[in-house]
Copies of this chain bind each other. A is one copy, B any other.
Amino acid sequence: MRAVTIVDGEIVVREHPDPEPGAGELLVRVRAAGLNGADMLQRRGRYPAPPGSPPDIPGLELAGEVVACGPGATRFREGDRVMSIVGGGGQAELAVVHERVAMPVPEELDWPAAGGFPEVFTTAHDALFTQAGLASGERMLVHGAAGGVGTAAVQLGRAVGARVTATVRNESLRPAVAGLGATAIAPEGFGEHGPFDVILELVGAPNLQENVNALATGGRIVVIGIGAGAKGEIHLGALMGKRGTLRGSTLRSRPLEEKALTARAVERHVLPLLEADELRVPVAETFELDRAAEAYARFEAGGKLGKIVLTLA
């Protein structure tokens, strides 16, 4: 099979041995695979794939057809349309996923949308609901809302009856984010739009102090992106006064059973919203597999709304 391959930091497409499904695993012919920020980090050697994932093939999500079931795999059959997060190796013609982490693809989703759905919607759902306990009526802030996780979070917050504010650095993207259901604002002085019950931090430490100050009593900050900086000062007295929570989270390093739980949560709580047309997967641009290097360049250039997705015939 052919696969995107990281060679000394360069993105190339080359032949690899076909993977084989082990116990409980599915072999999937990949039809679409989204790009994520973690791929960019992995390319620079800063986010190695976890044990058990291909070390040199990036890709944290995919959608495609089941072509073979490993021993004991019973949730899906050959030909089923599935989508899944993976620890790595998603950007390839064939990939192996564990059946407990895979989800069915709703009819409403075409391949690019399905390939760009799992990572960002699972991440956003886990962060907002499992980690932060977002509830209806709450005031929610998303930092860096124009990207994949951001656009997912805005829509999920809106769908459950939260009041969503979103910071978007690129002014030209704010109308599109507003169209997803948020009040879209510039990052500067965001605290004046608070207080917020839940803050989803996709940008990093530079927002930390203002996040704490903008928190409502009992508010929760969940940090899942730190591209703009990892270290920041925090005033613990302010956090106590708010009875606030600061939590860090990642999806990739979790063990199989925890990833499977996130997939069940998405199946129960998010797929019905997709089927009811209350959510959409914003796809900024698709690239065929052979143009993977261009896709990476496009991702790193920024200024996009939603996902960059590789497609495979």
Contacts and interface: CB of A to CB of B under 8 A. Distances in A.
Contacts of A253: 241
Interface residues of A, number: 30
A1 interface: no
Contacts of A240: 223-224, 226, 248-250
Contacts of A247: 239, 243-246
Contact of A226 (B204, B237, B246): B237
A231 interface: yes
Given A243-B250, A244-B248, A230 B235 contact: yes
A236 interface: yes
B250 A236 contact: no
A207 B235 CA distance: 13
A117 to B, nearest CB: 23
A233 interface: yes
B243 A245 contact: no
B223 A231 contact: no
A138 B226 CA distance: 29
Interface string A203-241: 011001000000000000001101000111111111111
B243 A237 contact: no
Given A246-B246, A246-B247, A247-B246, A223 B241 contact: no
A2 interface: no
Given A240-B250, A247-B245, A232 B233 contact: yes
B236 A232 contact: yes
A297 to B, nearest CB: 26
A242 interface: yes
Query: Which of A241, A242, A246 is most buried by chain B, counting CB atoms within 10 A of its CB?
Result: A246
Contact of A232 (B204, B234, B241, B242): B234
Contacts of A239: 223, 246-248
A226 B230 contact: no
A231 B224 contact: no
Interface-central residue, A230, A234, A253, by most chain B CB under 10 Å: A234
Interface in A146-188: none
Contact of A243 (B235, B241, B249): B249
Nearest to A253: B241
Contacts of A245: 245-248
Contacts of A204: 236
Contacts of A223: 236, 239-240
A205 B233 CA distance: 10
11 contacts: A205-B236, A223-B236, A232-B233, A232-B236, A239-B247, A239-B248, A240-B250, A241-B248, A245-B247, A245-B248, A246-B246
Interface of A: 201, 204-205, 208, 223-224, 226, 230-250, 253-254
Given A231-B237, A243-B250, 5 more contacts: A223-B236, A226-B237, A233-B233, A245-B247, A246-B246
